């Protein structure tokens, strides 16, 4: 740190929770990009939230019914397997709500896609958005955007079409939606079909590659197949029907028009792409490890914006895998930052994080992540850790501070230990078996201004190193 004022440090010690990351300080201030304004005519957030509530009313009703009727300890409560409704439960819901079984199942599926219901293992439970449904407009809008993002799952894809063709149309639809948004009005479906055909042809061209290696004879690059209009027309109709089902557009008289919700959502996605393109360090182009190292120099809010931009450019599954791979490395700083990025991912990361909790290196971070995901206050989440796990995390965090922070900060890190005294801390640190224990204790002894305490810490480091007691 160049500043002598502790508040200026990017490296923070949060008591009683141990430090999760120890990035370097950056002296220069970054120019903030002014908050973008939505296109003229976009309804205010409260009005958009009202529209989203209307579209998701059926899903919220079924989710509330399940919460009230099937919650733990209530008569008839039972897991239905992978969060799907059993026949008996669907019939019971239909009778209670005055709906058909098919309507109940459709609303339940919508509730899952919108995050009103979250699947955990073989059971489902109310999501945080359902808890905030009546009081938090942003939670409602996020739920609808989640449904919008999952439009291809909202309606069954055509059974007589190849999966590869369906995937191409799904990949091409963002450009079609962008065109609709920029048109700001009805667009003939035939025009959208021409655009879709061009985009699918581009996707096929991008996949065609010239073989690499010795070539005794001239190699003619393969010519991609042009997208067939007759092949794409039924798939475009399916895509438009699915987007109409989630409330993103309307189709009538051979023309498609984005709804106010759909236009706003597409604008938000375009803004995310612009933010990613303006990433000051170009983190969106990096792998997870390099991206995290780049974000280590940023303040928390700026780092979260970088995580969102990086995640927006990748499939969620591969992004989560890559982040956990970075967390498994030797750099403790990256471990903490990886789980901060996973907090931005949210619910889709839960299965992988739950599996990571079985690994010693990742277990404390994963348990804290899961506790916060389940609704625990971040300041109280550390209570889910055993004494041994909390001590292991203290050493891991100290390693991050020793590698990337400064000596005074390592001394202050003593305050976050769960042990009441330094001798008790040293005893438990030696017993926990962290691979960086010796280096951490040596660094702490060198940094601490109290000679007696420094000698005790140095003695503990020697004992760990030699295997003595």
pLDDT digits (tens, 9 = 90+) for 15-25: 334 333 333 33
| Cα angle: 195, vertex 201, 206; to 5 degrees | 125
pTM, rounded to two decimals: 0.55
What's the whole-number mean pLDDT along residues 398-413? 80
pLDDT digits (tens, 9 = 90+) for 141-154: 988 988 888 888 88
Q: In a 3-state reduction of DSSP, which class is residue 396?
A: helix
Using CB atoms within 10 Å of the CB of residue 372, give its burial: 0 to 12 exposed, 13 to 18 middle, 19+ buried.
Answer: middle
pLDDT digits (tens, 9 = 90+) for 233-263: 899 999 999 999 999 999 988 999 999 999 9
Q: Which pLDDT score, from 0 to 100, does residue 120 have?
A: 62
Q: Which pLDDT score, from 0 to 100, does residue 365 have?
A: 94
What's the whole-number mean pLDDT along residues 424-436? 82
Q: Categorize the per-residue pLDDT at 29 as very low, low, confident or very high, splitting at 50, 70 and 90.
A: very low
CA distances from 150 to 134, 155, 341 (A): 23, 10, 21
Q: Is the pLDDT of residue 323 over 60?
A: yes
Q: Residue 186: enclosing H or E segment and its boundaries?
A: none
pLDDT digits (tens, 9 = 90+) for 174-220: 889 989 988 888 999 999 999 999 888 888 887 664 444 455 554 44
Give per-residue burial for 74-102: e unless 16+ CB within 10 Å, then b: eeeeeebeebebeeebbebbbeebebeee
Determine the Cα–Cα distance for residues 224 and 199; give it in Å rounded to an integer.
Answer: 13
* Overall size of the chain counted in residues: 469
CB of 180 closer than 8 Å to CB of 265: no
What's the whole-number mean pLDDT along residues 325-348? 90
What's the whole-number mean pLDDT along residues 385-398? 89
The more confidently predicted of residues 9 and 92 is 92
CB of 142 closer than 8 Å to CB of 128: no
Q: Is the pLDDT of residue 223 over 90?
A: no
The more confidently predicted of residues 55 and 445 is 55
Range with the lowest mean pLDDT among 166-170, 171-175, 393-397, 460-464?
460-464
Q: Is the pLDDT of residue 13 over 60?
A: no
Q: Any idea which residue has 């008289």 for tokens? A: 253
Q: Is the pLDDT of residue 313 over 50?
A: yes
Determine the Cα–Cα distance for residues 260 and 43; give it in Å rounded to an integer.
Answer: 7
Measure the N-to-C terminal CA separation of the chain; round to a whole number of Å.
37
Q: Which pLDDT score, from 0 to 100, does residue 24 have?
A: 35
Give per-residue burial for 180-193: e unless 16+ CB within 10 Å, then b: bbeeeebbebeebb
Q: Any idea which residue has 């990256």 for tokens? A: 334
What's the whole-number mean pLDDT along residues 411-435? 80
Peptide bond into 287 cis (omega under 30): no
Determine the Cα–Cα distance for residues 16 and 397; give it in Å rounded to an integer.
Answer: 13
Q: In a 3-state reduction of DSSP, which class is residue 250?
A: strand
Q: Is the pLDDT of residue 455 over 70?
A: yes
Tokens of 220: 């003619």
Q: Which pLDDT score, from 0 to 100, does residue 128 have?
A: 77
Q: Alpha-carbon torsion 184, 189, 195, 199, what sign?
A: positive
Q: Which pLDDT score, from 0 to 100, does residue 469 have?
A: 52
CA distances from 220 to 185, 204, 215, 217 (A): 44, 16, 11, 9
Work out the mean pLDDT of the chain and round it to a whole number. Answer: 79
Enumerate helices (H) and strands (E) in the chain, giving the number of each. Answer: 22, 5
Enumerate long-range contacts of 281-288, CB under 8 Å, 24 or more apart: 281/306, 283/309, 283/310, 284/309, 284/310, 284/313, 286/310, 287/322, 288/319, 288/322, 288/323, 288/325, 288/326, 288/338, 288/341
Q: Categorize the per-residue pLDDT at 53 as very low, low, confident or very high, splitting at 50, 70 and 90.
A: very high
For the chain, the maximum distance between any two Cα atoms, rounded to a whole number of angstroms, is: 85
Q: Which pLDDT score, from 0 to 100, does residue 79 have?
A: 44
Q: Which pLDDT score, from 0 to 100, does residue 83 have?
A: 60
Q: Categorize the per-residue pLDDT at 56 as very low, low, confident or very high, splitting at 50, 70 and 90.
A: very high
Q: Is the pLDDT of residue 448 over 50?
A: yes
């Amino acid at each position: 740190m160049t500043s002598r004022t502790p508040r200026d440090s990017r490296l923070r010690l949060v008591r009683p929770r141990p430090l999760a990351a120890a990035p370097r300080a950056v002296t220069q201030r970054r120019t903030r990009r002014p908050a973008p304004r939505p296109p003229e005519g976009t309804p205010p957030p409260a009005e958009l939230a009202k529209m989203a509530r209307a579209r998701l009313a059926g899903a919220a009703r079924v989710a509330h019914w399940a919460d009230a009727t099937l919650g733990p300890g209530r008569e008839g409560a039972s897991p239905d397997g992978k969060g799907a409704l059993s026949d008996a439960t669907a019939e019971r819901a239909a009778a209670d709500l005055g709906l058909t079984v098919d309507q109940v199942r459709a609303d339940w599926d919508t509730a899952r896609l919108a995050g009103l219901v979250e699947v955990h293992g073989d059971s489902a439970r109310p999501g945080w958005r359902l808890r905030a449904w009546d009081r938090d407009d942003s939670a409602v809008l996020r739920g609808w955007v989640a449904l919008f993002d999952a439009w291809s799952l909202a309606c069954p894809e055509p059974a007589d079409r190849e999966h590869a063709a369906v995937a191409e149309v799904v990949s091409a639809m963002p450009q079609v939606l962008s065109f609709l948004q920029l048109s700001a009005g009805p667009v003939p479906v035939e025009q959208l079909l021409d655009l879709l055909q061009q985009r699918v042809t581009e996707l096929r061209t991008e996949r065609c590659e010239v073989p690499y290696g010795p070539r005794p004879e001239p190699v003619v690059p393969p010519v991609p197949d042009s997208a067939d209009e007759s092949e794409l027309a039924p798939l475009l109709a399916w895509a438009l029907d699915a987007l109409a089902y989630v409330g993103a557009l309307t189709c009538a008289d051979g023309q498609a028009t984005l709804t106010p919700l759909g236009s706003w959502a597409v604008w938000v996605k375009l803004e995310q792409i612009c933010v990613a393109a303006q990433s000051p360090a170009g983190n969106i182009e990096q792998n997870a490890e390099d991206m995290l190292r780049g974000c280590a120099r940023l303040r928390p809010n700026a780092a979260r914006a970088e995580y969102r931009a990086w995640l927006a450019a990748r499939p969620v599954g591969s992004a989560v895998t890559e982040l956990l791979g970075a967390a498994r490395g030797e750099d403790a700083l990256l471990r903490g930052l990886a789980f901060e990025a996973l907090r931005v991912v949210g619910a889709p990361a839960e299965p992988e994080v739950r599996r990571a909790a079985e690994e010693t290196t990742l277990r404390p971070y994963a348990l804290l992540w899961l506790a916060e995901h389940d609704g625990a206050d971040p300041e109280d989440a550390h209570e889910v850790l055993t004494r041994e796990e909390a001590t292991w995390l203290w050493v891991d965090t100290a390693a991050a501070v020793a590698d990337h922070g400064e000596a005074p900060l390592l001394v202050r890190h003593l305050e976050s230990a769960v042990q009441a005294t330094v001798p008790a801390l040293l005893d438990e640190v030696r017993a926990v078996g962290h691979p960086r224990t010796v280096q951490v204790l040596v660094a702490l002894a060198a940094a601490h201004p109290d000679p007696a305490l420094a000698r005790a810490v140095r003695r503990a480091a020697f004992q760990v190193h030699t295997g003595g007691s």
